[in-house]
Amino acid sequence: MKPLVLVLLLVLAARAELTEQQRQVPLEQDSPDPKLAKIVLLAGSVSNKAGQHEYFAGCAMMMDWLKQTPDVWPVMVAEGWPKNEAILDGAKAVVVFADGGPKLPFLEPARWARMKKLIDAGAGFVMLHQAVDVPEANADEIKSWLGAVFQKDIGNRGHWDMEFSEFPKHPITRGVSAFAAPFDGWLFNLHFAPGAVPLVSGQVPDKARTTEDAKAHAGRAEVIAWAYERANGGRSFGFTGCDLHKNWIAESQRRLVTNGILWTARCEIPATGAPAPMTPTQLAANLDAKPAKAVKPAN
């Protein structure tokens, strides 16, 4: 078999999980101008049920939102890690929207070394939802990169309604107003690094406090989004929501995440916040091919 044919077959096989619609989304397209702020979005592989962990669809929308800001070049990557790792070179920020724990897409030693090199060079770093749940062996180092990590010793997770109405003054909260996230999935009571700045906090149900440490703080508003400036000047942002894809309907959630990404890449954020327009058609686009939740037949 000719080498070129073999390479093409391997690429097609690696992307076999993508739907026909998803295959129309431009992947791993590098910036034509090194002056543009390149932001790489790592979308995790297919996970969970329909409407949850829609990493590809979520990153495709983030790419569209980031394109609204001048001098920014978003690059989308499918299945957690680029086929062409050179696409990471010169990235001003990397966004990880993927499963965490042992499924975190950059744990393999060579990938870890690449990510560490970017972090050490001051690249922005963003982790969303399950990505903040990291293996214990990597927790201390990732906490020094991100500013916080979920660990099962004190951390809690689950689904419940949350509403947010107060936000500290920060570039990431520009244009962010009160919003709700019905029955989204959350991780809280994280291990925070000194200097991490809480951005979004809210009340959680007492029954969600399953660890002894969390039970000791009953009634406390819990931080689910934060900003962090690393010792080397690099910036990071974390948000443990965005489990339910439908909750992107909240403009303030979209703006919060878009602002957070831009801030880590050291891009200017308008006084009214970054634009993050979305239509119902866009919300329904590029969903993973997952079986819908079974509906129990009526008697």
Question: How confident is the model at residue 17, as a pLDDT?
Answer: 82
Helices marked H in the chain: 3-14, 55-66, 109-120, 136-146, 212-215, 251-264, 280-283
Q: List the one residue out of 64, 257, 297, 63 whose CA is nearest residue 175.
A: 257
Read off the pLDDT of residues 187-231 as tens digits, 9 standing for 90 and up: 999 999 999 999 999 999 999 999 999 999 999 999 999 999 999
Tell whether the model's pLDDT for residue 30 goes beyond 50. yes
Comparison of pLDDT for 77 and 293, the residue scoring more? 77
What is the pLDDT averaged over residues 146-160?
Answer: 98
Q: What secondary structure, in 3-state letters, does 124-183 show?
A: EEEEEHHHHECCHHHHHHHHHHHCEEECCCCCEEEEEEEEECCCCCCHHHCCCCCEEEEE
pTM, full prediction = 0.92
Question: How confident is the model at residue 293, as a pLDDT?
Answer: 58
Question: How confident is the model at residue 292, as a pLDDT?
Answer: 62
Contact 119, 125 (CB under 8 A): yes
Scan for tokens 């119902």, then name that residue.
280
Query: What residue spans define the domains of the chain?
Result: 10-283
For 256, the token pair is: 């919060």
The set of residues, in sequence order, having a beta carbon less than 8 Å from that of 288 and lying 6+ positions away, is 17, 19, 22, 46, 50, 54, 55, 56, 57
Read off the pLDDT of residues 223-264 as tens digits, 9 standing for 90 and up: 999 999 999 999 999 999 999 999 999 999 999 999 999 999
User: How much of the chain exceeds pLDDT 70, in percent?
Assistant: 92
Tell whether the model's pLDDT for residue 12 goes beyond 50. no
What is the pLDDT averaged over residues 102-110?
Answer: 98
Query: For residues 3 and 6, what is the distance between their CA atoms, to the nearest angstrom?
Result: 5
The set of residues, in sequence order, having a beta carbon less than 8 Å from that of 144 and lying 6+ positions away, is 193, 230
User: Other C-beta atoms within 10 Å of 117: how many?
Assistant: 12
Scan for tokens 């931080």, then name that residue.
223
Query: For residues 111 and 105, what is the distance between their CA atoms, to the nearest angstrom?
Result: 8
Question: How confident is the model at residue 294, as a pLDDT?
Answer: 45
Report the length, in residues, of the chain: 299
Query: For residues 55 and 128, what is the distance between their CA atoms, to the nearest angstrom?
Result: 10
Contact 255, 237 (CB under 8 A): no
User: Other C-beta atoms within 10 Å of 237: how many?
Assistant: 28
Q: List the one residue out of 191, 183, 141, 147 whose CA is nearest residue 162.
A: 183
Contact 262, 274 (CB under 8 A): yes
Contact 94, 119 (CB under 8 A): no
Query: For residues 257 and 244, what is the distance between their CA atoms, to the nearest angstrom?
Result: 15
What is the pLDDT confidence band of residue 290, given thresholds at 50, 70 and 90? Answer: confident
Query: For residues 64 and 85, what is the distance between their CA atoms, to the nearest angstrom?
Result: 22
Whether CATH 1.10.274.100 fits 10-283: no
